[in-house]
Amino acid sequence: MQRLHVTNSKIKRSIASAISSLVAVSASAKSGGVDYSWGADALAMMHDYVVTMMLYVLYLTYAIAAIVVIYASLQIYIKMNVGEEGVMKEILMLVGACLFMIGASIVFPAFFGYRI
């Protein structure tokens, strides 16, 4: 009885290996049939898509930065009125974040070769 069980597992393994090798052979046969006729048109379409998405990301980043600046400014105002320490540190962090956003909005489009 045990011998029959071992034989069934060997059969299952051999069937699984045959199926996996068949899938591997069929996948490698399809890889040679790639159509490269799009060429430069596809590259130009991809460039336009990346530039469009980059601008959307840039505008979304501006909107998020504006919300964060308003929140940080209110925090600084509250800290100044309450008399807590670290107001100068908060102001410097806010100015540094604004400088980073300005720098990033110049560098990010320039990385893709786009000039606003």
Instruction: Give me the chain's average pLDDT, please.
Output: 76
How many domains, the chain? 1
Rg from Cα positions in the chain: 30
Question: Is 113 inside a domain boundary?
Answer: yes
Question: Is 19 inside a domain boundary?
Answer: no
Question: Is 23 inside a domain boundary?
Answer: no
What domain range includes position 82? 44-116
The model scores a pTM over 0.75: no
Out of 27-41, 51-65, 85-99, the most confident range is: 85-99
pLDDT the model gives residue 23 = 54
**Backbone region of residue 16 per phi and psi (left: phi > 0; alpha: psi in -120 to 50; beta: other values):** alpha
